[in-house]
Amino acid sequence: MFGLMTAEFMSLLGNQVAAVAIPILVLQFTHSPLITGIAAAGNIVPIILSAILGGSAIDRLGAWRMSVTADLLSCASVLALPLSYLYLDHVSPVLLFILVFLGALFDPTGISARQTLVPVLAKLSGRSLDKINSWRGGLENGADFVGPVVGVALIGIVGTLNTFFVDGVSFLLCAVIVAATVPGDRQKPSLKDDRAGLAGVSFVFKNSQLRSLAVVGMIAGFVILPFLGLLLPVLATQKFGSTTLLGICLSAFGLSATVGAISFSSLSRKCSRSLIYYGGLFVTGSSLILSALATNKYEVILSAAFAGLLLGAGNPLQQTILQEATPGPIAGRVFTSLTALHFIGGPFGLLAAGFLTQFTNVDTVLLSGGGVLILLAGSGWCFLPLLRADQHSGS
């Protein structure tokens, strides 16, 4: 289990370095929030496609094999962006979208493959899913904290383009760690069920708890992904004129989310699942509003930290519900499908936020997004409750 969690941390660390480097690179070259939104959308679309292709590949070829393969392919594909800027005279918005898309294409499959391995490894370790997912969530959000610091430091030391080469190394390390330390069936499984990848989506919407997570997640992703991938970079680099501020804000968000994730095991014994999940959305929505009203850098940092405070506990909660509700033979498809559904609103949110920020201002977009999350939290609490495994039949 330790090897798997270490590999997850390395891969997520690389993703967070890219999360800092990509918007800074695009804003430096174009000064356009709209084009930055287009580039950020290229980082999200592969997650949606993973519901169709990645989940079926995991169930057919095996989670261990797909984890290693996906990270090796990610290592190669992420290098396309810096190489293009080094050897091409001009990188158009369309080419930029394609390059970012290729860099992120294999990430979702690798992440979902490692998630699929968790229940078996948890049984081998003799520990509960709540505790394992609390640890995993802490490491994931720890990567959210450390990654931006590493990203800003690398950009300052070696430059934005060279930072992407370091990003590729993180995926290579992830593949090596899984191959060397994680046990698994390395033979091709004999999966006779050849249903399309969308069977995972069908399963999600037939299960009441997963359906609630999917519906709320789609709307939340429309707001939260633009906040982290576009609005916060614009707020930091254009309104306050500081690249370092972006790294600090993302790290503050990651640190508070880490605290929330680590606290999940304890919170789950004291609070309802609905309070943890929808409380996180309410707090995040409030933080977006506060960031719009911020008048100095310190207020922006505090707002970013406030945004992740309870939201971090929502990730291990979601993983626990997934692992409770999903049969092993279709776990890969269901995990990737729910992830894809959560991200499906992201590209539209990024494009809308980019357009509105370009022609209005970032504060107006932040205020609107915060209001949407607060309304979503209230509606979900009233109409889409999240119950423990012993409180519902699972359908």
Q: How many whole angstroms separate alpha carbon 159 and alpha carbon 154? A: 7
Per-residue model confidence (pLDDT) at position 391? 63
| 196-206 average pLDDT score | 79
pLDDT band at 277 (very low <50, low <70, confident <90, very high): very high
Between the alpha carbon of residue 323 and those of residues 111, 125, 196, 375, the distances in Å are 15, 16, 21, 28
**Domain assignment present for 247:** yes
* Identity of the amino acid at 277: Y
Per-residue model confidence (pLDDT) at position 51? 60
pLDDT in tens, 237-257: 888 988 889 888 988 888 888
pLDDT in tens, 126-144: 777 777 777 777 777 677 7
Enclosing domain of residue 252: 2-182+195-391
**Domain assignment present for 187:** no
Q: Within 13 Å and on the Cβ side, how many CA atoms surround 25?
A: 28
Number of domains the chain is built from: 1
Percent of the chain whose pLDDT exceeds 90:
28
Q: How many whole angstroms separate alpha carbon 222 and alpha carbon 227? A: 9
With beta carbons less than 8 A apart as the criterion, state whether 231 and 81 touch: no
**Domain assignment present for 371:** yes
pLDDT band at 185 (very low <50, low <70, confident <90, very high): low
Q: How many whole angstroms separate alpha carbon 97 and alpha carbon 80? A: 12
Q: Which two tokens stand for residue 245?
A: 């501020």
**Domain assignment present for 76:** yes
pLDDT in tens, 31-44: 788 888 888 787 77
**Domain assignment present for 69:** yes
Q: Could you count the other beta carbons within 10 Å of the beta carbon of residue 354?
A: 26
**Domain assignment present for 190:** no
Cα–Cα nearest to 39, from 384, 374, 381, 351: 351
Compute the mean pLDDT over every residue in the chain, rounded to the nearest whole number.
Answer: 83
Q: How many whole angstroms separate alpha carbon 34 and alpha carbon 30? A: 10
Q: How many whole angstroms separate alpha carbon 283 and alpha carbon 91? A: 39
Per-residue model confidence (pLDDT) at position 194? 47
**Domain assignment present for 189:** no
Q: Could you count the other beta carbons within 10 Å of the beta carbon of residue 26?
A: 25
pLDDT at 109 over 70: yes
CATH of residue 206's domain is 1.20.1250.20
Per-residue model confidence (pLDDT) at position 243? 80
With beta carbons less than 8 A apart as the criterion, state whether 112 and 11 touch: no
With beta carbons less than 8 A apart as the criterion, state whether 262 and 138 touch: yes
Q: How many whole angstroms separate alpha carbon 374 and alpha carbon 202? A: 28
pLDDT band at 334 (very low <50, low <70, confident <90, very high): confident
Per-residue model confidence (pLDDT) at position 26? 80
With beta carbons less than 8 A apart as the criterion, state whether 171 and 11 touch: yes
**Domain assignment present for 134:** yes
